[in-house]
């Protein structure tokens, strides 16, 4: 009998804890042996000499096919996960958005229908509650048991936001049943105030989107959510921290011993408010929430990522074609919020994180994979290279140099916010449960190969 289906040979294996040379033996979708000189004449040999062999990327914040402002994000579970795979990501956790009147069970089923048979990599689903009532609250324990242990609430957005009262009820119920609540933290009323004022003054171009939601708007909501979590005695996870105003709230809470966690995204580390000043309607490419910030935030955010103030880097991948962005040609408030990012996360974090001397290879693995697996209930099935774990692996070539173009990417959208940026280091081979699904920028996997991940209890890290 064949001992291994495949062996990844002679790579430099990097985990969250260590770096060593070795071979990885894979059988039946799992890593079954790690060692030197593994042999099996019948096994497929994947040569990784001179390259890094790391846990496949995990992006716990994507919006495939998300309805927003009368349109839908342009990547669906097929196109979006093909792009993820080509960029070295082997797992996503996507946000299912509850429509008015739908139960959580129905919401999850709608998202499963979008994903099942389409995703090319494994995926989990968060439940984004927008319409809370007593029945929904009572559904939470069942949903956690069924593999949906993470919930998100919007503190802003008409039609989707919840009150502080609902946030407190959710924090308590989710925590009592072994789940984790996260928030999109921005102050709804402040944004409304600034948006109305800017519109009345005729300031309607894309850049005013950023002006309408300054850093303090985010910091205030993050600080408030943290205080409510303290009052409830629960953990809290804050998505897409963009600036010092919010990340410093997390830092303060963590230093005082509170179980507060969060993420940032590549766009808040390498792009800035200056992008909104691009000519014509180009600034619309960067209309997302929270918006891009002044560059002065970059050092703080890199340090927050390096020092575990925030635990990981996600993308908030939510692309729209420029045609869709034009819904807001006359007024920034109508531009669908979101931008692509799922494909370049690993390369950007390597180039500017490791290459930029912001952190080492262990931290790279922690922030791109291991910590997401831990926080979102997938560890050690996902997020590590260990005997018994799924063989989700990226072979990363630190020597490849590229200049980003839209054409080299697989995202279903007509631009990339990272156009023209220089990269050094790029994923070469992506392996999902033992199968090579992308190689040298080409997708080699199969539609529908991705499986739903029934997730377990989150870890506080
Ligand atoms: N922010 C975005 O930019 N897009 C989707 C949702 C969100 O919170
Ligand atoms: Zn958000
Ligand atoms: Zn989001």
Give tens-digit pLDDT for 209-240.
999 999 999 999 999 999 999 999 999 999 99
- Ligand 1 contacts CB of residue 337 (under 6 A): yes
In a domain, 166, yes or no: yes
The answer to whether position 321 is within a domain reads yes
Ligand in closest contact with the CA of 68: 1
Q: Does residue 29 belong to any structural domain of this protein?
A: no
**444 occurs within a structural domain:** no
- 81 closest CA partner among 72, 91, 95, 71: 91
Nearest in space to 309 (alpha carbons), one of 351, 363, 348, 347: 363
Instruction: Output the six-digit token pair for 109.
Output: 């089923």
pLDDT of 1 strictly over 80: no
> What confidence tier does 274 reach under pLDDT thresholds 50, 70, 90?
very high
Q: Is the CB of 160 under 6 A from ligand 1?
A: no
346-394 pLDDT per residue, tens: 999 999 999 999 999 999 999 999 999 999 999 999 999 999 999 999 9
C-alpha pair distances (Å), 347 with each of 93, 182, 310: 19, 26, 19
Q: Report how many domains make up the chain.
A: 1
Rounded to whole angstroms, the Cα distance separating 93 from 91 reads 7
275 falls within a domain: yes
At residue 442, the 3 state secondary structure works out as strand
CA distance 345 to 197: 36
Structural domain harbouring 282? 56-375
Q: Which single residue is written with the structure tokens 């919401």?
A: 107
399 within a domain of the structure (yes/no): no
Across the beta sheet with 57-62, the strand order is 57-62, 89-97, 122-128, 150-154, 180-184, 236-238, 260-264, 312-313
Nearest CA owner, ligand 1 atom 7: 289
The finding on whether 288 has its CB within 6 A of some atom of ligand 1 is yes
Residue 155, in any domain of the structure: yes
377 CB within 6 A, ligand 1? no
Query: By three-state DSSP, how is residue 436 classified?
Result: strand
Q: Please state the atom number of ligand 1 nearest to the C-alpha of residue 287.
A: 3
Which of 318, 333, 335, 417 should be mutated for ligand 1, with most atoms under 8 A from CB?
318
- Asked, for residue 62, whether it belongs to a domain, the answer is yes
Please tell me whether the overall predicted TM-score, pTM, comes out greater than 0.95 for this model.
yes
Q: Which residue has 């000043």 as its token pair? A: 277
207: domain CATH number? Answer: 3.20.20.140
pLDDT at 110: 98
Alpha helices in 333-387 (DSSP H): 345-348, 361-365, 371-375
Helix (H, G, I), strand (E, B) or coil at 150: strand
Predicted confidence at residue 253, as pLDDT, reads 98
Q: Which residue has the tokens 């209930």?
A: 377
């Amino acid at each position: 009998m064949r001992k291994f289906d495949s062996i990844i040979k002679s790579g430099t294996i990097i985990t969250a804890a260590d770096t060593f040379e070795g071979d990885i033996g894979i059988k039946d979708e799992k890593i079954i042996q790690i060692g030197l000189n593994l042999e099996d004449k019948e096994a497929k040999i994947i040569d990784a000499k001179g390259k890094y062999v790391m846990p496949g990327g995990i992006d716990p914040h994507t919006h495939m096919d998300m309805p927003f402002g009368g349109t839908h994000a342009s990547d669906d579970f097929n196109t979006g996960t093909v792009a993820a795979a080509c960029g070295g990501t082997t797992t996503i956790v996507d946000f299912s958005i509850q429509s008015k009147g739908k139960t959580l069970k129905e919401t999850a089923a709608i998202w499963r229908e979008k994903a099942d048979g389409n995703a090319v990599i494994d995926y989990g689903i968060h439940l984004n509650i927008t319409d809370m009532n007593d029945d929904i609250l009572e559904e939470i324990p069942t949903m956690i048991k069924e593999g949906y242990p993470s919930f998100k609430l919007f503190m802003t957005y008409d039609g989707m936001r919840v009150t502080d009262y609902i946030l407190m009820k959710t924090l308590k119920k989710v925590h009592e049943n072994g789940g984790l609540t996260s928030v999109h933290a921005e102050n709804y009323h402040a944004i409304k105030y600034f948006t109305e004022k800017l519109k009345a003054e005729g300031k309607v171009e894309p850049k005013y989107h950023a002006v309408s939601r300054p850093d303090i708007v985010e910091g205030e909501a993050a600080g408030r959510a943290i205080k409510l979590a303290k009052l409830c005695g629960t953990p809290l996870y804050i998505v897409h921290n963009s600036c010092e105003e919010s990340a410093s709230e997390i830092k303060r809470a963590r230093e005082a011993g509170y179980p507060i966690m969060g993420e940032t995204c590549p766009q808040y580390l390498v792009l800035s408010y200056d992008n909104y000043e691009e000519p014509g309607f180009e600034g619309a490419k960067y209309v997302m929430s929270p918006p891009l910030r002044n560059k002065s935030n970059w050092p703080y955010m890199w340090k927050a990522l390096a020092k575990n103030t925030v635990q990981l880097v996600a993308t908030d991948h939510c692309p729209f074609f420029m045609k869709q962005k034009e819904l807001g040609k006359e007024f920034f408030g109508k531009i669908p919020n979101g931008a692509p990012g799922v494909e370049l996360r690993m390369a950007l974090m390597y180039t500017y994180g490791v290459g930029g001397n912001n952190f080492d290879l262990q931290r790279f693995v922690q922030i791109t994979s291991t910590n997401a697996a831990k926080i979102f209930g997938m560890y050690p099935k996902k997020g590590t290279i260990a005997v018994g774990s799924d063989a989700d692996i990226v072979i990363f070539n630190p020597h490849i140099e590229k200049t980003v173009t839209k054409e080299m990417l697989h995202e279903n959208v007509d631009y990339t916010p990272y156009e023209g940026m220089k990269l050094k280091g790029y994923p070469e081979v992506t392996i999902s449960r033992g199968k090579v699904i992308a190689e040298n920028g080409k997708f080699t996997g199969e539609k529908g190969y991705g499986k739903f991940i029934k997730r377990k209890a989150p870890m506080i890290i």
